[in-house]
Chains A and B, each alone.
Chain A
Amino acid sequence: MTFADYLLLFGGMGLVTYLPRAVPLLYLAHKQLPQWLIDWLGLIPVAVLSALLAPALFTDKITRTFELGKPEFLVAIPTLLFALKTRSLGGTVLVGMFLYWLGQSFIF
């Protein structure tokens, strides 16, 4: 691919990445939002993060089937406990990586 091809591709990708982030913000920040919408939007963060995370823990990405007891899930339990206890993002990332690496090297 040439420079122009890459520019076209990434320019297009950039546009469809930026618009979903900018349009709701620009529009909603200047509107009086009804209370029900504020309450509903307040539940969106937990819902989105859980929806992003759950399939990675409970399904096989290649066959797209349900799988209980994946290494990702087993490591997630102590990692979750660590996060609940410390609320440290950096620590949780490190503990998760370390346990996963440990599991890969010695158990799974």
Chain B
Amino acid sequence: MNQQQQLSVQTILRSGTATAWPICLGYLPIGLALGVLAQQSGIPWWAVALMSILVFAGSAQFICVAMLTAGASIPAIIFTTLVVNLRHTLMSSSLAVYLRGVERKFLAVFAYGVTDESFAVNMAKFRDENWNRWQALTVNHTANLVWILATVTGSLIGQLVPQGAFGIDYALTGMFICLLVYQFQGRIYIITGLIAAAISVSWYLLIPGDSYIVGASICAATAGYVLQCRYRRGK
């Protein structure tokens, strides 16, 4: 740990941003799309900037724009945001394993940038490489900066971007596919992923709302854990 912390600021920034750029590449079209939608719903660009700074959470921001367009109330939008973002409690808990004993000030700043994407990339890096927390923090904040810029740009140039151009609708899905591959660290991980997919699809079809993400994750991780214990005992 001590040795890692002696990496120069320059090295940290370079490796952190190099790791973040693919996330940024994915964020560009999605952020632009969000900005365009917001602009079409009559939300001014400064409000888009304010939203991206205070709420760094793509899916919640899309839902917010849709709900504002539909005339939803402020408490209703805030409550929906909470539900959609509950999955991050699981991600932060997993990250805590690699940030044991780190000072609270750092954790408070780090937590702001925990998204599906930065989480998946940082977890894979923490597991496979000598990844340190400053590099992880750089990933979080580079992605955040690009996100803010992309959403604001989208709201400013909204009318110029044709719908569905260049397959931008697929950017997020493509990103998730690769992030999922990063998590395949062995057979039990693949099995857990398959269980999660099956439960999540069934849950999504049967139960309205967004509880399927957290629900399926907890069920699948538990099932995977039980299988892992059985396998270990059997050996």
Interface residues of A (CB under 8 A from B): 1, 5-14, 16-18, 20-30, 33, 36, 38-59, 64-66, 72, 75-76, 79-80, 83-84, 87-102, 104
A89 contact set on B, CB distance < 8 A: 22-23, 25-26, 121, 175, 178-179, 182
Distance, CA A64 to CA B85, complexed state (A): 21
B132 to chain A, nearest CB (A): 15
Inter-chain residue pair count (beta carbon < 8 A): 298
Distance, CA A76 to CA B135, complexed state (A): 30
Cβ-defined partner of A29 (8 Å) among B50, B100, B164, B184: B100
Distance, CA A79 to CA B60, complexed state (A): 26
A25 to chain B, nearest CB (A): 4
Distance, CA A75 to CA B170, complexed state (A): 9
Contact A14 B54 (CB under 8 A): yes
Contact A46 B189 (CB under 8 A): yes
Chain A interface mostly: helix
Q: Kindly supply a per-residue 1/0 record for chain B positions 60-94, scoring 1 wherever the CB is within 8 Å of any chain A CB and 0 otherwise.
A: 10001000100000110111011001111111111
B120 at the A/B interface (Cβ < 8 Å)?
yes
Distance, CA A41 to CA B86, complexed state (A): 15
By the criterion of a CB under 8 Å from any partner CB, how many residues of chain B are at the interface? Answer: 98
Distance, CA A56 to CA B197, complexed state (A): 10
In the complex with contacts A96-B173, A96-B174, A47-B220 CB distance below 8 A: yes
Contact A26 B177 (CB under 8 A): no
The 5 sampled A-B contact pairs (Cβ below 8 Å) are A10-B54, A75-B170, A79-B177, A83-B177, A99-B167
Contact A9 B107 (CB under 8 A): no
Cβ-defined partner of B220 (8 Å) among A51, A95, A96: A51
Chain B residue with minimal CB distance to A12?
B78
In B163-181, which residues have CB < 8 Å from any A CB?
A: 164, 166-171, 173-181
Q: Which of A36, A52, A84 has the most CB atoms of chain B within a 10 A radius of its CB?
A: A52
